[in-house]
Structure formats: structure tokens, C-alpha cells
């Protein structure tokens, strides 16, 4: 795939942070169930997983810019 500068994009593989969303929901739900607050645990897990996914995305963008 070419970027607008007609230079080939980096050959480095891209990172994905979607697993953190899934694990956050799963672990948050399990912890929430043990504390009798499944919904709050799920929302908290989703928030933490989303934060980790965003951090992976930012890290990957910086890594891709260095590889140009």
C-alpha cells in the first residue's frame, strides 16, 4: 500500500489493541461477578481495556513514523 508521498509504507507489522478490549470486558465481568457488581466490573474493564488499546495505537503510530 502506498501513502500519499508515493513511498511504500513500512514493512513492519502493525500492532492491534483489540485484544485488550476483549480481555478488559472478560476480566472486568469476572471480577465484577465476584464482587456482586457485574455491570460496574464490565464497564471498568472496558475502560481499562480501551485505555490500553489507545496506548498500543499511539505506540504503534510512533513506531511506524520512526520506520519511514
What distance in Å separates the CA atoms of residue 42 and residue 46, rounded to the nearest whole number? 6
Set of cell numbers at residue 50: 480501551
Model confidence band, residue 45 (pLDDT cutoffs 50, 70, 90): very high
Asked whether residue 68 carries a pLDDT value surpassing 70, the answer given is no
Q: Are 19 and 9 in contact (CB under 8 A)?
A: no
User: pLDDT at position 4, please?
Assistant: 58
Single out the residue of 20, 50, 48, 44 nearest to residue 32, CA to CA.
44
User: pLDDT at position 63, please?
Assistant: 82
Model confidence band, residue 2 (pLDDT cutoffs 50, 70, 90): low
Which residues are bridge partners to 2 per DSSP? 8
Amino acid at each position: 500500500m502506498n501513502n500519499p508521498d508515493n513511498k511504500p509504507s513500512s514493512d513492519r507489522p502493525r500492532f492491534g489493541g483489540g485484544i485488550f478490549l476483549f480481555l478488559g470486558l472478560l476480566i472486568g465481568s469476572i471480577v465484577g461477578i465476584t464482587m456482586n457488581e457485574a455491570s460496574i466490573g464490565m464497564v471498568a474493564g472496558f475502560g481499562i481495556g480501551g485505555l490500553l488499546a489507545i496506548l498500543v495505537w499511539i505506540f504503534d503510530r510512533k513506531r511506524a513514523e520512526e520506520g519511514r
